[in-house]
């Protein structure tokens, strides 16, 4: 018997942005600096930090199952501190996710998204990226986002980090489904590309930089977050029983950015 199922990407066991950008720093770098690892002794996952326009408070955005499956009242978030040019060190911090057993995060009513207020370490190296970067239907249409567009995700596959400073790993894929909107109906879309356990909650984005001085039309959009992936499970009949082979289909399930916006609106 062959069948397909989804698997949450939690590693078991084991405004556009602030309107001021560094002159030499592109949007991809900005978002890498805003992406953090969420760590527990039994699993790791991914999240990213945004701020509402004209507000100083920070929002931690991730997949709901990441926080819901974390036991206890705290989890560890791995921030980073810049010590010198090109030199960063990890800055782990305990973050309270429950009080008296009750979640402190906001959960979307139907989709796998959660948002939590956080206060990063004082010297944490974070980009000041705004929730205005979250792509609405109007922005998807304005920038003519369509199937086949090359998009990017950031995460920590199987606990892996890009370096000792704990930066996320960047990978590319493409939009694999149609239609994309209205997102109120589609809710999610598929990204063609390999993702792994530990990538849950990571941002998926599209960046098309200006190539010439006369070209001012940059595209900077956060399209959503990674929530799950598709597998093909194949049951093999043997003489003395059965065995199962799991095939990774290379298809990630991405929750639309509009759903993240809805979740932020629910956070008190």
Return the pLDDT at 213: 57
209 or 35: which leads in pLDDT = 35
30 CB neighbour count, 10 Å cutoff: 21
Model pTM score: 0.88
Domain ranges of the chain: 2-266
Distances (CA, A) of 211 to 116, 127, 148, 222, 247: 37, 23, 21, 20, 40
Confidence of residue 17 (pLDDT cuts 50, 70, 90): very low
Q: For residue range 232-245, what is the model confidence (pLDDT) as tens digits? A: 888 888 888 888 88
Confidence of residue 218 (pLDDT cuts 50, 70, 90): confident
What length is written for the chain?
268
Least confident of 22-26, 37-41, 58-62, 94-98: 22-26
**Is pLDDT of 214 > 70?**
no
**Is pLDDT of 5 > 80?**
no
The three-class DSSP label of residue 157 is helix
**Is pLDDT of 16 > 50?**
no
Return the pLDDT at 212: 57
107 CB neighbour count, 10 Å cutoff: 17
Distances (CA, A) of 215 to 20, 58, 144, 184: 19, 32, 17, 33
Q: For residue range 80-99, what is the model confidence (pLDDT) as tens digits? A: 999 988 899 999 999 999 99
How is domain 2-266 classified at the CATH fold level?
Answer: Thrombin, subunit H (2.40.10)
């Amino acid at each position: 018997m062959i069948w397909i199922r989804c698997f949450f990407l939690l590693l078991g066991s084991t405004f556009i942005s602030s309107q001021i950008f560094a002159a030499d720093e592109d949007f991809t770098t900005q978002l890498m600096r805003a992406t953090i690892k969420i760590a527990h002794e039994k699993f790791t996952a991914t999240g990213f930090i945004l701020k509402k326009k004209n507000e100083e408070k920070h929002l931690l955005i991730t997949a709901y199952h990441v926080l819901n499956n974390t036991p206890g009242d705290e989890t560890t978030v791995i921030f980073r501190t810049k010590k010198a040019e090109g030199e960063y060190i990890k800055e782990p911090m305990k973050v309270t996710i429950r009080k008296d057993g009750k979640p402190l995060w906001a959960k979307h009513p139907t989709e796998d998204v959660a948002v939590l207020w956080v206060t990063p370490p004082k010297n944490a190296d974070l980009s000041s990226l705004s929730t205005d970067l979250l792509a609405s239907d109007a922005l998807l249409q304005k920038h003519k986002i369509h199937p086949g567009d090359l998009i990017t995700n950031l995460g920590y596959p199987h606990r892996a980090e890009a370096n000792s400073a704990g930066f996320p790993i960047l990978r590319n894929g493409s939009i694999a489904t149609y239609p994309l909107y209205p997102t109120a109906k589609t809710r999610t879309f598929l990204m063609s590309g390999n993702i792994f356990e530990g990538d849950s909650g990571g941002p998926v984005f599209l960046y098309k930089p200006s190539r010439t001085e006369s070209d001012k039309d940059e595209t900077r959009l956060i399209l959503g977050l990674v929530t799950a992936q598709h597998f093909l499970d194949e049951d093999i009949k043997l003489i003395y029983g059965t065995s199962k082979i799991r095939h990774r289909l290379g298809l990630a399930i991405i929750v639309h950015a509009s759903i993240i916006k809805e979740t932020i609106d629910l956070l008190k």
